[in-house]
Structure 1
């Protein structure tokens, strides 16, 4: 346990942070890109694109109904 604390103290004192070095990060990045490259090339399925389009269209608030319209028109000064 003392070794871990002394190592952490050394890294903090020298300004060096723990973690992966640039070479390891680069290798992980290349491997992840290779794994997910096929998924990225497939694109978004049509049904997902349609759902996204539907979500982007503003829709009147059905929960408020006529009472909601009255509340908007009524500014509280009645």
Structure 2
């Protein structure tokens, strides 16, 4: 009988979710603490807003998308 070689690098274990284990793996207290810490880290970034050059780029893309949609509608009629 031939021995099957795993395609995974040695030492890595594949973890599959278990449908038999109900509920979250972390209790509510731990989930709350993780959420608070993530908010503390990212609140400052969110408050910075979008740089003007990105806002301009998004406006330009929106304008081009509207023009393209208008062309597509005209061609299909």
Work out whether the TM-score is over 0.5: yes
Q: Within the alignment, does 1:21 sit opposite 2:27 as a pair? A: yes
Deviations 1:22-54 (A, max 9, x none): 111100000000001110110000000000000
In the alignment, which residue of structure 1 is the partner of 2:60? 54
Of the two structures, which has the highest relative contact order with CA contacts closer than 8 Å and spacing of 6 or more?
1
Task: Give the TM-score of the pair, scaled to structure 2.
Answer: 0.55
More helix by share: 1
What do you get for the CA RMSD once the two structures are aligned? 2.9
Task: Answer with 1 or 2: which has the greater Rg.
Answer: 1
Task: Give the TM-score of the pair, scaled to structure 1.
Answer: 0.54
- Equivalents in 2 of 1:42, 1:18: separation in Å? 33
Unaligned runs of 5+ in 1: 1-7, 61-71
Aligned pairs, how many?
53
Structure 1 residue runs of 4 or more that deviate by more than 2 Å after TM superposition: 15-18
